Chains A and B, each alone.
Chain A
Amino acid sequence: MNLFSRFAQPAHFIRLARWLIPILALGSVLAFAFGLYYALFASPPDYQQGEMVRIMYVHVPAAWIGMGLYSAMAVAAAVGLVTRHTLADIFCVATAPVGAVFVALCLVTGSLWGKPTWGAWWVWDARLTSVLIMFFLYCGVIALRHSFDDDERGGKASAILLLVGAVNIPIVKFSVDWWHTLHQPASLLRAKGVAIAPEMLRPLLMMGTAYALYAAWLIVLRMQTVLCARAIDCGREEA
């Protein structure tokens, strides 16, 4: 039995989660403390935007996590449809609202950043529109799952929707390269190397780590809750 299938057993997972939850909680608190200090105090203002640039440290990681969680859910949905593994489905249940909130956070902070720098709360730019579509996809996945009484059917239906909606992921990622619009192109993951000053990159990566740890914490906690809730439901049906 390999490591993956060992920890993919619900009972093993619960045991693992008991360890993971405090570690992730502590890690995300520490990462936020360091990240926020560097982002708000120990990094220089931008020569054009001034202090406004600090919105980047909350906006960009939210976008990373929102997009990353959708991709992870799409992978889990595919694994779940093929292997019919419960834990894949539970991962999707637990992750969808978390991802939706991160995308919403990305949209809101982006809007707050757009008003002073672009002069508008919202523009119909390719990147903004595709992220908005991703938010609707998250909402659709959550709504579809909750319209079924049966967990298993709801899980399958939303897994199919997740996979179909994965088309949007490359569109979000490459929208800034395919269409030349207002949103600036990628400055971190790009062919010509990182295009961002190191003293701004450090807080950005710290905040990214903090967001990732926080999201992982929430997801493991929610997965544990869903597993327990289902176990209780099973017990009730038997009794």
Chain B
Amino acid sequence: MKNFYALLHHEIRLQARQKTEWASLLLFFVIVIVLMPFALGPEPEILRRLAPGLIWLAALLMSLLSLDRLFVQDARDGTLDEMLISPLALETIVVAKILAQILVMIAVLVVMAFPAALLLGMEARVLPVLILTFALGVPVLALLGGIAGSVTVALHRNPALLTLLLIPFYIPVLIFAVSACDAAAVGGSAAQPLLFLTALIALILPPSPFIIAAALRHGQG
């Protein structure tokens, strides 16, 4: 457990030091949001109704962009080989890496939710639900991304392939996250979709470290 916390700490610090990469991802997120009124027209009513969906779409695209940083960099500079021969279980290392990614991504998205909500004129009462859906949805995105990233780690960068592999699995997260926000927007209870998001975490969390570790071992073998 001590090793795990040390790893987690190390990974978070690594993520936090990649300031330019996160800055460009943030900029990407904002630009996608800013483009929406041009694509859909500036009517505040339409934008207000669509705001949660648009923000989640931007978050999804952003997470797709940040994915290949999870294992590709490690494979390139040899860290992955170190991970494979380390006395620690590969599963533990994988969980630490992905947890760090999740924490940093949630932090970034929570910060960005405020300006995005402002730009699209989203109602204030939806904001807490939106943040809650980020907290519940991002772990699923990151774990699925980890699986796809580990399966494709031996390949050269091919963002289109990663997108093709991931989008089908991202759809349920998008559905439940947006329906939670929509329920909150009309003043209803968002409990059911939020519970579904939690169920998705419960479904994907137990097997994914083993899947990712197995894929990494096969990829290097």
Q: Which residues of A contact B (CB under 8 A)?
A: 129, 133, 136-137, 139-140, 143-144, 147-148, 153, 156-157, 160-161, 164-165, 167-168
Partner of B152, one of A129, A147, A167: A147
Determine the chain A residues whose CB is within 8 A of the CB of B167 once the complex forms: 136
- Name A157's contact: one of B152, B158, B168, B171 (CB within 8 Å): B152
Given contacts A136-B167, A164-B211, contact A153 B218 (CB under 8 A): yes
How many Å from the CB of A16 to the closest CB on chain B?
30
The distance in angstroms between the C-alpha atoms of A137 and B154, with both chains bound, is 20
A139 with B164: CB separation less than 8 A = yes
A161 touches which one: B165, B214, B219 (CB < 8 A)?
B165
The answer to whether B161 touches A144, judged by C-beta atoms less than 8 angstroms apart, is yes
A157-B219, A164-B211 given as contacts; is B168 within 8 A of A144 (CB)?
Answer: no
User: Given B152, B203, B214, B218, which contacts A144 in the complex, CB threshold below 8 Å?
Assistant: B152
CB neighbors of A among B142-197 (8 A)? 147, 151-152, 154-155, 158, 161, 164-165, 167-169, 171
Q: Which residues of B contact A160 (CB under 8 A)?
A: 147, 151, 211, 214-215, 218
- A6, chain B: closest CB distance, angstroms: 28
- How far is A62 from B211 in the complex, measured between Cα atoms in Å? 31
How far is the CB of A149 from the nearest CB of chain B, in Å? 9
B155 touches A147 (CB 8 A): yes
Contact of A153 among B147, B171, B219 (CB under 8 A): B219
Inter-chain contact A147/B151, CB cutoff 8 Å: no
Given the interface contacts A157-B151, A157-B215, A157-B218, does A164 sit within 8 Å of B161 by beta carbon?
no
Query: Among B151, B171, B215, B218, which residue has its beta carbon within 8 angstroms of that of A133?
Result: B171
**Known contacts A148-B154, A160-B211; A140 and B218 CB within 8 A of each other:** no
Given contacts A160-B215, A164-B211, contact A144 B151 (CB under 8 A): yes
Nearest CB on A from B98, distance (A): 15
Q: CA A105 – CA B211 in complex, angstroms?
A: 32
B171 contact set on A, CB distance < 8 A: 129, 133
10 more contacts with CB within 8 A, not counting A157-B151, A161-B151, are A133-B168, A133-B171, A140-B161, A140-B165, A147-B155, A148-B154, A148-B155, A153-B219, A157-B218, A165-B169
> Please, which residues of chain B bring their CB within 8 A of the CB of A147?
152, 155, 158, 161
- A interface secondary structure, majority: helix
Q: Which residues of B contact A136 (CB under 8 A)?
A: 164, 167-168
- With A147-B158, A147-B161, A148-B155 as given contacts, are A168 and B168 in contact (CB-CB < 8 Å)? yes
Can you name 10 A-B residue pairings with CB atoms under 8 Å?
A140-B168, A143-B161, A144-B165, A153-B218, A157-B151, A157-B152, A160-B151, A161-B165, A164-B169, A168-B168
Instruction: Report B210 CB to chain A, min CB distance, Å.
Output: 11
* Complex CA distance for A156 and B168, rounded to whole angstroms: 20
Nearest CB in chain B: distance from A94 CB, A: 21
Complex-state Cα separation, A164 to B149, whole angstroms: 14
* Contacting pair A143 B151 (CB below 8 A): no
Measured CB to CB, the closest approach of chain A to B24, in angstroms, equals 26
Which of chain A's residues have a CB closer than 8 A to the CB of B214?
Answer: 160
- Indicate which residue in B161, B165, B218 contacts A156 across the interface (CB closer than 8 Å): B218
- Report the minimal beta-carbon distance from A86 to chain B, rounded to whole angstroms: 16
- Cα–Cα, bound, A139→B163 (Å): 12
Chain A CB within 10 Å, residue with most, of B158, B161, B168? B168
Q: Within 8 Å CB of B154, what residues of A?
A: 148, 153, 157
A129 — which chain B residues lie within 8 A by C-beta? Answer: 171
Report A79 CB to chain B, min CB distance, Å. Answer: 15
Considering only CB atoms, which chain A residue lies closest to B214 in the complex?
A160
Q: How far is the CA of A137 from the CA of B148 in the complex (A)?
A: 12
Residues of B within 8 A of A167 (CB): 203
- Closest residue of chain B to A133 (Cβ to Cβ) is B168
Closest-by-CB residue of A relative to B150 is A160
Shortest Cβ gap from A92 to chain B (Å): 14
A137, A140, A165, most chain B CB atoms within 10 A = A140
Q: Once the chains are docked, how many angstroms separate the CA of A8 from the CA of B215? A: 25
